[in-house]
Amino acid sequence: MDNHITGILLALAGLTGVIYACISFLKNREKTSNIKLILYSGVIGAVIFMIGLGLVIFTTDEEIIFTPYGQLKQKQITDPLI
C-alpha cells in the first residue's frame, strides 16, 4: 500500500510540474528568457509523473492473514482486470 501512496504523490508532483511549464509557456510567449526553466520543469515533471503512474499501476497489493496460531502469512491479491 505504501507504493501506491508514493506513486500517487509522485504523479501529483509531476503533474504540477507539467502544468507549471504549460502556464509559464503560455504567459511568456514573446520572451525567450525562461525557455530553460520551462523545458526543465516540463521534462522533469513528465518523468516524475510517469514514475508515479508506474508505481500505481505495476505494484501488487499484499494482504496479511492471521492464522489461529498467531503466525503471519502474506497472500498476494491478484487484480481481475489484468
pTM assigned to the model: 0.67
pLDDT-derived band at 72 (thresholds 50, 70, 90) equals low
- Structural domain boundaries in the chain: 2-76
Q: How far apart are CA 46 and CA 42, in angstroms?
A: 6
- Is-contact 55 6, C-beta < 8 A? yes
Q: What is the C-alpha end-to-end distance of the chain, expressed in Å?
A: 18
Angle at 6 between CA 47 and CA 63, to 5 degrees: 135
Cα 38 vs. chain centroid, distance in angstroms?
Answer: 20
34-63 per-position pLDDT tens digit? 788 888 999 999 999 999 999 888 877 665
